[in-house]
């Protein structure tokens, strides 16, 4: 019996081969060379890549036997996960391989910026002994602010605490008690900007976080502020950062990431008070070794048909065919739930009703949690680490399966209790021969709209003219309504408008709608990847 074939498409740590062991036929190719990759991938069972190899729809179509794509690192920008899922190909990565390296680089950039290491080094290389010019500041007894208290943010907080710093953080999805256990005080973003001597950014890049720190935030900052971004480019507005540094409104910056990469020609590079590196967060021998070993273990598990902890698009093991269509639906419901809640729930119930409860539906609980945390944490969320993320945030989770479903053949509901005791719920189902995804309930209101990429929900006191006002404002903003459902609990009581729209609704437009219809609640959900 022939051995499964594993294609290594880029240079990986030698430990990767050792971790794979003798049970596989190992082949090599230059994955960055398209002409070499496509024929090489044709008959392999697994491919291991880093960032240079694009495993896109074309490559996947050429790989008739492919079962696993393994990315020896965290990011998956070069892997078409959607196309892989459609072809039944598991995608795995190494989500924790670089967290120590990334945290250490953030601290290194902070120290380098605080002590003017980069310009002092450049001056010395030019023959200038500028000892007095490049006087710096200490970290000791200063206030360090962490923007995003995920796994890397926590590591940075721990390391900065060891410098004798006071640590504060902004993360609306972390409970205050959890932060307090780490010796971190949670604050809002404005307070963070005003109090911080040093800021380190550790957020995922989402539509909500792009440009999060811009001119308005810098206007609140101390002149002594040193800002570090070793997370994702674009979270810090680079033009606003340049102006703040150039005009002396903040002191310095350390940057490892940029809005567009590779970046070799930025105005920021002309400033002496900027230290910059070319996205080196994961570029350590240790991180690469950890990544190689992690994905090798995942490939072994996947090709043996076992549960894969770091799978990002499927649950390991057998999933009933009747349950599979509910997985993406449930994940989307989880993302809508988070948009509606605006915080991490203390209790989440995943309720599955109908015929599919004849099968094991545990994967739907995992899919729900994956969706709930997808837009909350900076790291890749998988079906295995999602329960861990819930546990870390003190969220109790329960799966409820009932065969009775009065109104729908199958119904999936995510119901959560928030810190103030209020509840949030969202329900969905699949309809027709093509199993179309429909949103059928939001916070107790019956609706029926397609689960599109852009959704919005407005709750207000039921009275005439509100729908027209809403439509007019969106029309003026150039936002096209694809679908609309109006529901109410009683005539003259509470009403809910649920919308699917063709594009994201700008924040200022949402605020205008809220003011004009006197909405009690306005929420938007972005389900784009």
The fraction of the chain above a pLDDT of 70, given in percent, is 97
pLDDT of residue 382: 62
436 and 457 inside one domain: no
Band of residue 388 on the pLDDT scale cut at 50, 70, 90:
confident
Among the residue ranges 118-122, 196-200, 335-339, 379-383, the one predicted with the least confidence is 379-383
Among 461, 466, 458, 469, CA closest to 510: 458
435 and 494 inside one domain: no
Q: Which domain does 520 fall in, by range?
A: 452-529
Q: For residue 316, is pLDDT > 50?
A: no
**In the block, which residue shows the tokens 């796994």?**
151
433 and 335 inside one domain: yes
142 and 265 inside one domain: yes
Reduced 3-state DSSP string for 319-340: CCCCCCCHHHHHHHHHHHHHHH
Q: For residue 306, is pLDDT > 70?
A: no
Boundary (domain end) residue, out of 435, 451, 467: 451
307 and 324 inside one domain: no
Q: For residue 502, is pLDDT > 50?
A: yes
Q: For residue 453, is pLDDT > 60?
A: yes
Residue scoring higher pLDDT (119 or 207): 119
pLDDT of residue 469: 94
Q: For residue 315, is pLDDT > 60?
A: no
Predicted confidence (pLDDT) per residue in 221-275, tens digit:
999 999 999 999 999 999 999 999 999 999 999 999 999 989 999 999 999 999 9
257 and 149 inside one domain: yes
Give the pair of three-digit tokens for residue 299. 């490939």
CA–CA distance, 440 with 496 (Å, rounded to integer): 13
Predicted confidence (pLDDT) per residue in 128-176, tens digit:
999 999 999 999 999 999 999 988 999 999 999 999 999 999 998 888 8
466 and 324 inside one domain: no
Q: Total structural domains in the chain?
A: 4
471 and 519 inside one domain: yes
Q: What is the CATH number of the domain that holds 303?
A: 3.40.50.720
| Catalytic (active-site) positions | 232, 261, 279
Band of residue 317 on the pLDDT scale cut at 50, 70, 90:
very low
- Residue 507: is it exposed, middle or buried by C-beta count within 10 angstroms (0-12/13-18/19+)? exposed
Among 362, 258, 373, CA closest to 320: 362
Q: What is the CATH number of the domain that holds 509?
A: 3.30.70.260
Boundary (domain end) residue, out of 423, 451, 479: 451
Q: For residue 415, is pLDDT > 80?
A: yes
Predicted confidence (pLDDT) per residue in 504-529, tens digit:
999 999 999 999 999 999 999 999 87
296 and 240 inside one domain: no
- b/e burial code for range 456-495 (CB count within 10 A of at least 16 → b): bbbbbebeeebeeebbebbeeeebeeeebbbbbeeeeebb
Boundary (domain end) residue, out of 252, 276, 300: 276
Strand partners, 290: none
């Amino acid at each position: 019996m022939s051995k499964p074939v594993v294609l290594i498409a880029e240079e990986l740590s030698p430990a990767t081969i050792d971790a794979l062991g003798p049970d596989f036929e190992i082949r090599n190719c230059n994955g960055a060379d398209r002409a070499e990759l496509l024929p090489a991938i044709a008959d392999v069972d697994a491919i291991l890549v880093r960032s240079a190899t694009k495993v896109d729809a074309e490559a996947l179509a050429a790989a008739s036997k492919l079962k696993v794509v393994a990315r020896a690192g965290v990011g998956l920008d070069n892997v078409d996960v959607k196309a892989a899922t459609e072809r039944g190909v598991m995608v795995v990565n190494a989500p924790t391989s670089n967290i120590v390296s990334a945290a250490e680089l953030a601290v290194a950039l902070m120290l380098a910026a605080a002590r003017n290491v980069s310009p002092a080094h450049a001056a010395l290389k030019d023959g200038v002994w500028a000892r007095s010019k490049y006087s710096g500041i200490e970290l000791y007894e200063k206030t360090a602010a962490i923007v995003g208290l995920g796994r890397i943010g926590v590591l940075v907080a721990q390391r900065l605490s060891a410098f004798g710093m006071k640590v504060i953080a902004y993360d609306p999805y972390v409970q205050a008690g959890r932060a307090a256990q780490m010796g971190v005080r949670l604050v809002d973003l404005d307070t963070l900007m005003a109090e911080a001597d040093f800021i380190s950014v550790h957020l995922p890049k989402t539509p909500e976080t792009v440009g999060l720190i811009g001119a308005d935030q810098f206007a609140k900052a101390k002149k002594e502020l040193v800002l570090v971004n070793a997370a994702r480019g674009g979270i810090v507005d680079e033009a606003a950062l340049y102006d703040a540094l150039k005009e002396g409104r903040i002191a310095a910056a350390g940057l490892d990431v940029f809005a567009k990469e590779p970046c070799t020609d930025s105005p920021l590079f002309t400033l002496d008070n900027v230290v910059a590196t070319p996205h080196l967060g994961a570029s350590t021998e240790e991180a690469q070794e950890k990544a190689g070993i992690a994905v090798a273990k995942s490939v072994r598990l996947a090709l043996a048909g076992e549960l894969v902890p770091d799978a990002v698009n499927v649950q390991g093991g057998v999933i009933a065919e009747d349950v599979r269509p509910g997985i993406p639906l449930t994940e989307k419901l989880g993302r809508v739930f988070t948009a509606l809640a605006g915080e991490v729930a203390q209790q989440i119930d995943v309720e599955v009703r109908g015929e599919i409860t004849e099968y094991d539906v545990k994967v739907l609980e995992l899919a729900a949690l994956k969706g709930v945390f997808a837009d909350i944490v900076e790291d890749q969320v998988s079906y295995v680490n999602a329960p861990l993320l819930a546990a870390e945030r003190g969220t109790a989770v329960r799966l409820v399966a009932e065969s009775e479903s009065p109104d729908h053949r199958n119904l999936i509901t995510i119901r959560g209790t928030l810190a103030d005791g209020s509840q949030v719920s969202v329900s969905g189902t699949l309809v027709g021969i093509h199993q179309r995804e429909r949103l059928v309930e939001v916070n107790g209101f019956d609706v029926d709209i397609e689960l599109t990429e852009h959704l919005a929900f407005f709750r207000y006191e039921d009275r005439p003219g509100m729908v027209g006002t809403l439509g007019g404002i969106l029309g003026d903003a150039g936002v096209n309504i694809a679908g609309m459902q109006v529901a109410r609990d009683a005539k003259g009581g509470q009403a809910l408008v649920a919308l699917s729209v063709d594009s994201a609704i700008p924040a200022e437009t949402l605020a205008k709608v809220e003011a004009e219809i006197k909405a009690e609640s306005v929420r938007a959900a972005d389900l784009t990847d």
